[in-house]
Amino acid sequence: MTADGRRPRDLRLDFFRGLAMFIILLAHTPGNTWTLWIPARFGFSDATEIFVFCSGMASALAFGAVFAERSWALGAARVAYRVWQVYWAHIGVFFATALLMVMLDRTGLGPEGAVYADWWPVSGLFHHTKVALVGLFTLTYVPGLFDILPMYLVILAMIPVVMLAHRFGGTYAVFGVVTALWFAAQLALWRRALDGAETHMLGEGLAALGGAFSFLALPSNPWGDGTWFFNPFGWQLVFFTGFALVMKWLPTPPVKRGLVIAAIVYLAFSLPFAWFKIYGDGYLPADWALRIRISEARDFMSPLIEKSGIGPLRYLHFLALAYLSWAAVGPGGVRLTTGWSPPPAVRGLALIGALAVLAILTAPYAYVDEIRAISPSLDAWLLARLQGLGLVAHPMRIGLLQIAHLVALLMLAWAAIGAERRKWLARDGFLALVPVIRKVGTQSLAVFMVSIPLSRFNGWWLDVIGKDVWTRGLVNLTGFAVLIATAYLVGWFKAQPWRQRQIPRAPESSSGPVANPTPAE
């Protein structure tokens, strides 16, 4: 416990939630090729699971003691206060983003004919204003990109119910409530997915059963039949997994070699079914039997990996990723305080020379946009050199050459900087970043609120200055700086530095009271 009676914050909680905030900004920025390298591209789960899971852990730290040490009623009141805060945060973010879209249009900058206020998540406010306003405040108008906070506040409202279940039935009752609600949400979403589609007898039975839970698919707009993309009754499974771990309802997972191997195998198994460049017409030719089988398998398992209600294979993918992260940072997150041992660098003149040749040969295909802008004729000549190389001739499959170029450059750079700099990067450099990332994690609500309009601004900025390697780097790194500044500014305000610090009262001695010192002006 801390001096004020609260449980200390876990280093890992704030660190991983901070990472999620940076990833979410990248994912929401239009025209951002950095999103090709976020976790969502290589597995079923993404940064949303990190955010929701860590929010569950943080909620247990914030509210668990109130339920346990005060009363259920006060705990419920504390949760209701937080729901109230998140509700108004959602309203404020929506209006701020809608206003930003209008202001961007007024600049007159951007692609010819672009109308940013017609962006579909906010256009409903302008085209159906009266209905949209009512829907916005009643949470029946919840367009995409503005559905994470509504999901979060509904899940928060479930905490008193879960605490009540634990009081009367223990951990098994909580497990029953959470899993039953999650399964009901799966059935409701399955019912909508199969609506009007031909299916087999089992599918028809599940669809009929899902009809009984159709009320769990919350409406996302008053003028159509859309539903919330993030179904809170499905996503509460991720939230309460984190909640239960902090509350000690679930045991801490042991770090065992067998479990680590199993988690790695599952992540590797999911890769071809999650990476669109493999199951789509990307890195594998469209007519290859392997690609067709992978694509068919993905279609077959789609209900198990869907995002709206957190399908079971998606949930399992997140658990595997979370377990490996848990193991990687060490007991209590010790590696977040000690750093890492630097990975070895390549050695040998022959190997270094081979990497240098690879980097040179692939360079023209690593900077396609830049070469095309400078010399279209050179670009055409370079692309012609790939004719006959079926695996990489397709424009998208040039990405294989780009990956090879990037790997070669990284390995050469890692060898070139020397042992001392490698050690500094793995330890001192990393340790310098940890408190910054953790600061972003501690102020995740404020940072998330800023990231939504910021992502749209960054997309507009790219439209104005152009999209290439350097401009994307500038925009993304500037966005990171804004998130970091937001976290530190909000933390400063929360510390209330304008309040006079109270100096502890000195104990009275046997000879009489001791005068309190006068605070310095």
- CA–CA separation, 22 and 15 (whole Å): 11
Contact 60, 242 (CB under 8 A): yes
Q: Which amino acid is at 466?
A: G
pLDDT higher than threshold 80 for residue 7: no
Helix (H, G, I), strand (E, B) or coil at 323: helix
Q: How many residues does the chain have?
A: 521
Average pLDDT over residues 279-297: 81
Q: What distance in Å separates the CA atoms of residue 501 and residue 286, rounded to the nearest whole number? A: 68
- Model confidence over 117-157: pLDDT tens digits? 999 999 999 999 999 999 999 999 999 899 999 999 999 99
- Euclidean distance between CA atoms 23 and 480, whole angstroms: 10
Closest CA to 357 of 392, 428, 284, 409: 409
The span from the CA of 423 to the CA of 178, in Å, is 46
Residue 219, Ramachandran bin (φ over 0: left; ψ between -120 and 50: alpha; else beta) = beta
Q: Based on the number of CB atoms within 10 Å of its own CB, is 229 exposed (0-12), middle (13-18) or buried (19 or more)?
A: middle
| d(C-alpha 66, C-alpha 70), whole Å | 5
Give per-residue pLDDT as tens, 329-351. 998 899 999 998 898 998 888 99
The token duo for 140 is: 């029946």
Count of C-beta atoms within a 10 Å radius of residue 476: 20
How would residue 515 be classed by pLDDT, with cut points 50, 70 and 90?
A: very low
Q: Do 274 and 328 form a contact (C-beta atoms < 8 A)?
A: no
Q: 501 pLDDT band (50/70/90 cuts)?
A: low
pLDDT band at 521 (very low <50, low <70, confident <90, very high): very low
Whether the CB-CB separation of 176 and 249 falls below 8 Å is answered with no
- CB 4 within 8 Å of CB 440: no
Report the predicted TM-score, pTM, of the whole model to 2 decimal places. 0.88
Pure H helices in 108-228: 120-127, 129-137, 148-193, 201-211
For residue 393, the model assigns a pLDDT of 46
**Contacting residues for 76 by C-beta, under 8 A, at least 6 apart:** 159, 160, 163
173-198 burial, b for 16+ CB within 10 Å, e for fewer? ebbebbeebbbbbbbbbbbebbeeee
What value does the mean pLDDT take over residues 95-115? 94
Q: How far is CA 29 from CA 16, 24, 137, 425, 457, in A?
A: 20, 9, 26, 29, 8
CA–CA distance, 370 with 78 (Å, rounded to integer): 54
- Residue 517, pLDDT > 60, answer no
Give the whole-angstrom CA distance, residue 190 versus residue 323.
Answer: 29
Query: Sorting pLDDT into bands at 50, 70 and 90, what band is 10?
Result: confident
Contact 93, 101 (CB under 8 A): no
Of the candidates 297, 303, 300, 265, the residue with the CA atom closest to the CA atom of residue 278: 297
Of the CA atoms within 13 Å of residue 260, those in its CB half-sphere come to 9
The stretch 266-280 carries a mean pLDDT of 89
pLDDT single digits (tens) 217-245: 999 998 878 899 999 999 999 999 999 99
Distance CA 42, CA 276 (A): 9
Rounded Cα distance, 521 and 514, in Å: 21
> In which residue are the tokens 């209590």 written?
332
Q: Facing residues of 509 across strands?
A: 512
Q: Tell me, what's the pLDDT at 287?
A: 76
Comparison of pLDDT for 36 and 472, the residue scoring more: 472
Least confidently predicted of 17-26, 432-441, 507-516: 507-516
How remote is the C-alpha of 128 from its chain's centroid?
31
Q: Between residues 221 and 514, which one has the greater pLDDT?
A: 221
Single-letter code of the amino acid located at 102: V
Look up residue 435 and give its two tokens: 């408190």
Measured CA angle at 226 (ends 222, 230), to 5 deg:
115
